[in-house]
Structure 1
Amino acid sequence: MFNFKHEWIETNIGLLLVLTMLAISIGGLVEIAPLFFIKDTVEKVAGVRPYTPLELRGRDIYQREGCYLCHSQMIRPFRDEALRYGHYSLAAESQYDHPFQWGSKRTGPDLARVGKKYSNEWHVAHLISPRSMVPESVMPNFPWLERNELNISDISERMEALRKVGVPYSLTKSEYQANVKQFGAATAEMLSIPDARKNLIAQAESGNYDGDRSKITEMDALVAYLQVLGTMVDFSKYDDDAFVKYR
């Protein structure tokens, strides 16, 4: 009797489609719905902040050039991952990423902890000619990044768009004060949308990421972005050695 009904369902394409969609919907709800009611789904981690205007433009260029296709930004909680890259990625580190950069494959190394690992000069040379720094690299050259001046005309609009999806860039005085309380005055100033262009220029000139002070380039922005990855959280407060040793 059961076999007859099972065969009838499988041979009835319309009914099979409806029942399949129903099963998928129920399974999805069971997995996703509880997350909306768990306050600590994304744990609170000190130091995590939104990107500055310059770092944000660098992230945009990182996506434009397809860097995410070969480089992931998610260190998995396995011993070999921790030994190679450092502490596993925390959910809080991606809370301001839209979209997140976890990736789906690694042709090159994971970049979640690349910030401050190399000098600005190393990154510039590596992006212009990867094999000059890593002979076995299959990464393409990106020499135009050093030549192209950075477009900053729409940086405020980019920040406003992210503000609409929950990134705490400030547009009003009350939002600014909230950021001062949460991130500190210096960081809150960098997250101000009305001052975005001024702050971007100031960081680029101060950091001089591409080594050329005559102009602000796409290289400045991309290197600024790479240099901040993995540096917001003080992982010395986490027991990395125990994680590597005992897991």
Structure 2
Amino acid sequence: MADLHRKLERSAIRFMLAIIAVASIGGLVEIAPLFTIGSTVEAAPDMRVYTPLEVAGRNIYMREGCYACHSQMIRSLRDEVERYGPYSLAVESKYDHPMLWGSKRTGPDLARIGEKYSDAWQVAHLNNPRDVVPQSIMPAYRWLLRTPLKTDDLGRHLAALRTVGVPYTDEMVANAPIDAYGQSAPDDDKARGVTERYGKATHVRAFDGNPGELTEMDALVAYLQILGGLTDAARKTDQTALGE
């Protein structure tokens, strides 16, 4: 082996060809599975896209680095499934750009955190984590409650996501700022448009407890409360596996 390596190093052409051969093998191993991705990703007819408010919340989640301590990928290990729920499916991240699977957990996995706790709990936890989890080392995000949410560029965010495959319609893009407000104001006429465009099961409520003001807290809580709820594919798969 040492002699072969020495011969390759002494010939630039042979060394270059060896590099190309090794890189080609590695590339083939990585690229080949993509040709069968259509048959490996689960079907989810009930899959819906993120609303503008949820997209804004996801952007805040990434801005604040929440993904550094919380993964969004439940592995098919017994202890993880028992703690967090059905293991994650590829289709659940179909509209995530970028994906936030992760592998490091300073805090719990959030793939199924949606609706596990009330909005009031989420607000209290983000405002000061130790109020609800005394042993928490998570920093407080108090400014979210007093920071108005910027909505005038949400249409551009949806348009950008559409270019990478998320099926937002022209109507969704055009009404993004209005729908962001409407989702957090259930008694406003704008709320009706949200359910018409994104479905009747869409969460429409004052996430931060104040329906008169749209804040970054509204957006982040709206995002957290939909995690694991864009489709029921994982739960249906889990029930099938259990023979129910």
Q: 1:147 to 1:25 in 2, by over 3 A?
A: farther
Q: What is the rounded CA distance, in whole Å, between the counterparts of 2:241 and 2:33 in structure 1?
A: 31
Q: 1:239 to 1:8 in 2, by over 3 A?
A: same
1:104 Cα offset (Å): 2.9
Residue matched to 1:217: 215
1:43 Cα offset (Å): 1.6
TM-score (norm 2): 0.84
TM-score (norm 1): 0.83
Q: What is the rounded CA distance, in whole Å, between the counterparts of 2:11 and 2:239 in structure 1?
A: 55
Moved over 4 A (4+): 10-18, 240-243
Residue matched to 2:121: 122
Q: What is the rounded CA distance, in whole Å, between the counterparts of 1:5 and 1:236 in structure 2?
A: 54
Q: Is the 8 A contact 2:144 2:217 kept in 1?
A: yes
Residue matched to 2:18: 19
SS in 1 for 2:126: helix
1:35 Cα offset (Å): 1.4
Residue matched to 1:65: 64
Residue matched to 1:205: 185
Alignment of structure 1 residues 153-192 onto 2, 5 Å: 153-171=152-170, 192=172
Amino acid at match of 1:78: L
1:230 pairs with one of 203, 228, 231 = 228
Q: 1:88 to 1:3 in 2, by over 3 A?
A: same
Gaps of 5+ in 2: 187-204
Q: 1:56 to 1:163 in 2, by over 3 A?
A: same
Residue matched to 2:176: 196
SS in 1 for 2:40: coil
Query: What's the % identity of the aligned pairs?
Result: 53
Alignment of structure 1 residues 25-40 onto 2, 5 Å: 25-40=24-39
1:241 Cα offset (Å): 9.3
1:204 Cα offset (Å): 1.2
Q: Is the 8 A contact 1:69 1:104 kept in 2?
A: no
Q: Is the 8 A contact 1:210 1:223 kept in 2?
A: yes
Residue matched to 2:198: none
Q: What is the rounded CA distance, in whole Å, between the counterparts of 1:5 and 1:93 in structure 2?
A: 48
Q: 1:135 to 1:241 in 2, by over 3 A?
A: farther
SS in 2 for 1:39: helix
Which shifted more, 3-12 or 105-114? Answer: 3-12
Which shifted more, 142-151 or 205-214? Answer: 205-214
Residue matched to 2:50: 51
Q: What is the rounded CA distance, in whole Å, between the counterparts of 2:117 and 2:143 in structure 1?
A: 21
Which shifted more, 112-121 or 8-17? Answer: 8-17
Deviations along 1:18-52, one digit per CA (max 9) or x if unpaired, are 63454133222233234134422322123222100
Q: Is the 8 A contact 2:86 2:235 kept in 1?
A: no
Q: Is the 8 A contact 1:150 1:217 kept in 2?
A: yes
CA RMSD of the aligned region, Å? 2.2
1:222 Cα offset (Å): 0.2
1:242 Cα offset (Å): 5.5
Amino acid at match of 2:143: W
Q: What is the rounded CA distance, in whole Å, between the counterparts of 2:124 and 2:213 in structure 1?
A: 18
Which shifted more, 38-47 or 200-209? Answer: 38-47
